[in-house]
Amino acid sequence: MCKYIYIGLVTLCSILFLPSCKKYLDIVPDNSPTLDYAFTLRNEAQKFLFTCYSYLPPSENPQSNIGFLGGDEIWFPVEYREFDQYIWNWEIGRGNQNSNTPYVNYWDGNYYGINAFLAIRQCNIFLENVGDLKKVPDLTMPERQRWLAEAKFLKAYYHFLLLRMYGAIPIVDVNIPVSASPEQVKVSRVPFDSCVNYIAKLLDESAIDLPPFVTDRNNELGRITVPIAKAIKARLLVTAASPLFNGNSDFGSVKNSDGTLLFSQSFSQEKWEKAAQACKEAIEVAEENGAALYVFPQTSFKLSQQTKTQMSIRQAVCERWNTEKIWGNSGRRANRLQSICMARLNSDVASNTSMRGQFSATLKMAELFYTKNGLPLSDDKTLNYNNRYNLRTAVDSERYLIEPGYNTARLNFDREPRFYADLGFDGGTWYLYSSPTQSDSGTYVLKGKANQYSGTDIGGGINVTGYFIKKLVDWNYSFSSSGVTVREYEWPEVRLADLYLLYAEAINEASGNTSDACSWLNKVRDRAGIPTVQDAWTKYSNTPGKYTTKEGLRDIIKRERAIELAFEGSRFWDLRRWKDAAYELNQPVKGWTVTGTNDASYYLVRTLFQQRFVAPRDYLWPIRLSNLSVNPNLVQNPGW
């Protein structure tokens, strides 16, 4: 049974090693020294609730989202530091994590990590005070119940974020007074499975009083709803059922000082069954409340079906408050991110420093996308990619994808729509609302060699692989010689497509029902404009029966997630929970020779970096060494 750890208001800062307590009263009005004032009136209590929200990770921030530069999807020009401060998440991708000053540190809240334990403490303060019916007398009961449910969800979510990073963690159930003895606040880590049960329980309790959807769309979009709570529970239970945490012998030596084993050494099929049920419930609730895969609507512009399909893929992320976003984080708006991804698309803006194009998709990711038949490059018997680095000239029938008459790599031809929707490359089209032809015929073309406008190096605004990330740039992005106009969009913390793929994975692992699992994959593939799993492998593959076995379909599901959720930060966590990071993150980072000024010098594959991932050490974050010195009841993760 889970031991709930009780941590005090001040002792949380000293024992859980949060660097500062100075901001914990941010919500108290000016000139008011007491916390009690925050819960005398509805308006002040609401400010405190929004403070609880304010700790949500800035997932749209290029420096903070670990999934951007911490894995193998995106690389950055090493010679330059566009950001004001160091790029700590990239240091993780470069294999430089450490236990003295851990990067993107959620335990202590530094190096661009959120202060997760402080966030939990804020939630506890809110729950304790708003849960007291004698306080905030002008707060109606329905609103009180909703606010308490939101705070309970946030408390669960912050625990989940810590769990995903560190594995077993202390559980911060309630705060205790500052008079607690030192021994009472020297907390221990709680076994992983007990942590999962605790978080799932909080999520279930929060869902009871959360609204099914936001009715006040002018003021409350981004607030927590039932579909969000169900989706995070699904993500939690899939994580818990995955190989990293389900019978992983690598963690067999991690025990508390009293001998308590922190990670179960027994594989549990029941965990996958529970995960499948949670995914099913999350999808049902989401769809009952209007969730659906995004499809680009009709427009007055004359567009090809190829471009419409690409726009459905791109705008699933970028279209504001579209039906696919189960959780759009209104406090995390992608503005700077778009300009860091955006290429300079004509000579008028060749020196525009607002369009930096520095987020560079690795060659590995470019090769990961399917062929037009919905298969891996090596598995499509109808298309030959053995010569994929050689050049080919685009023809007129390919004009919506590549400029006719332009030479580019064979790798860039005959690919699935998500390849063209997600990636910009030398010779590839880039359709925007501001298209000079007001259509996708004769639209913008990216020209990426060093002597062309997209490849120009303007003080670090350079793409180092030759593949730009189009997916994260809204089609309303516009530019001129004087600057850019960016339409912000809320970051999609959870998309319906993610839930479909989680459900397919859980079904396959729980029951081996490949037919049912494929039906959920096919929903995503249909929107992506590629054949069903069954048709693709039966008609075009060298291994036609692969999807009929649990092991074969597992590989297909993993690749489908990597493609559909590319550049959104999901792959970083997927590789870890699958225990695939030890292989994938020990590969070289490659790209084109972007200093080249012609076809011969540009289309040469070069190695930018040899990644380093030490297993099992790098699967979990280190607890800072000074924390272990202060609190001997804490034990370190393996390898650190």
pLDDT value of residue 592: 98
Whether residue 254 is found in the same domain as residue 332:
no
Whether residue 126 is found in the same domain as residue 268:
yes
- Is 617 among the domain residues? no
- Of the three residues 492, 522, 553, the one that is the final residue of a domain is 492
Whether residue 328 is found in the same domain as residue 472:
yes
Between 470 and 336, where is the model more confident?
470
What are residue 494's DSSP bridge partners? 327
| pLDDT higher than threshold 60 for residue 496 | yes
pLDDT value of residue 79: 61
Whether residue 216 is found in the same domain as residue 364:
no
pLDDT value of residue 84: 43
Report whether 195 contacts 159 (CB < 8 A).
Answer: yes
* Number of separate domains in the chain: 2
Whether residue 192 is found in the same domain as residue 317:
no
- Is 577 among the domain residues? no
414: left (phi over 0), alpha (psi -120 to 50) or beta: left
What are the pLDDT digits (tens) for 122-164?
Answer: 999 999 999 999 999 999 999 999 999 999 999 999 999 999 9
Whether residue 349 is found in the same domain as residue 259:
no
- Is 419 among the domain residues? yes
Whether residue 454 is found in the same domain as residue 337:
yes
- Of the three residues 462, 492, 522, the one that is the final residue of a domain is 492
What are the pLDDT digits (tens) for 558-598?
Answer: 999 999 999 999 999 999 999 999 999 999 999 999 999 99
pTM (global) more than 0.85: yes
**Measuring CA to CA, which residue among 527, 574, 630, 616 is closest to residue 73?**
574
Confidence of residue 30 (pLDDT cuts 50, 70, 90): very low
Whether residue 51 is found in the same domain as residue 185:
yes
| pLDDT higher than threshold 60 for residue 618 | yes
pLDDT value of residue 80: 56
pLDDT value of residue 371: 98
What are the pLDDT digits (tens) for 160-182?
Answer: 999 999 999 999 998 866 777 77
Least confident interval from 174-183, 225-234, 418-427, 444-453: 174-183
| pLDDT higher than threshold 90 for residue 75 | yes
**What is d(CA 323, CA 630) in angstroms, rounded to the nearest whole number?**
48
pLDDT value of residue 8: 36
Structure tokens at 268: 């549990």
| pLDDT higher than threshold 60 for residue 4 | no
Q: Which CATH number does the domain housing residue 268 bear?
A: 1.25.40.890
Pairing of strands 5-6, 172-174: parallel
Q: In this prediction, what percent of the chain has a pLDDT beyond 70?
A: 93
Whether residue 330 is found in the same domain as residue 370:
yes
What are the pLDDT digits (tens) for 184-208?
Answer: 778 999 999 999 999 999 999 999 9
Confidence of residue 86 (pLDDT cuts 50, 70, 90): low
Whether residue 166 is found in the same domain as residue 225:
yes
**What is d(CA 407, CA 534) in angstroms, rounded to the nearest whole number?**
34
Average of pLDDT values for 316-337?
92
Whether residue 118 is found in the same domain as residue 250:
yes
166 to each of 179, 302, 396, 625, how far by Cα in Å? 29, 51, 53, 14
Between 585 and 64, where is the model more confident?
585
Strands (E), 431-562: 467-469, 478-480, 483-485, 490-495
- Is 575 among the domain residues? no
- Is 289 among the domain residues? no
pLDDT value of residue 456: 86
What are the pLDDT digits (tens) for 504-554?
Answer: 999 999 999 999 999 999 999 999 999 999 999 999 999 999 999 999 999
Sheet holding 74-75, edge to edge: 74-75, 360-361, 467-469, 423-425
**What is d(CA 319, CA 138) in angstroms, rounded to the nearest whole number?**
38
Mean predicted lDDT score pLDDT of the chain: 92
- Is 584 among the domain residues? no
Confidence of residue 6 (pLDDT cuts 50, 70, 90): very low
Average of pLDDT values for 286-301?
95
- Is 592 among the domain residues? no
Whether residue 407 is found in the same domain as residue 314:
yes
- Of the three residues 465, 492, 519, the one that is the final residue of a domain is 492
What are the pLDDT digits (tens) for 218-245?
Answer: 999 999 999 999 999 999 999 999 999 9
Structure tokens at 323: 């039906």
- Is 187 among the domain residues? yes
pLDDT value of residue 542: 96
pLDDT value of residue 57: 95
Structural domain boundaries, residue 399? 305-492
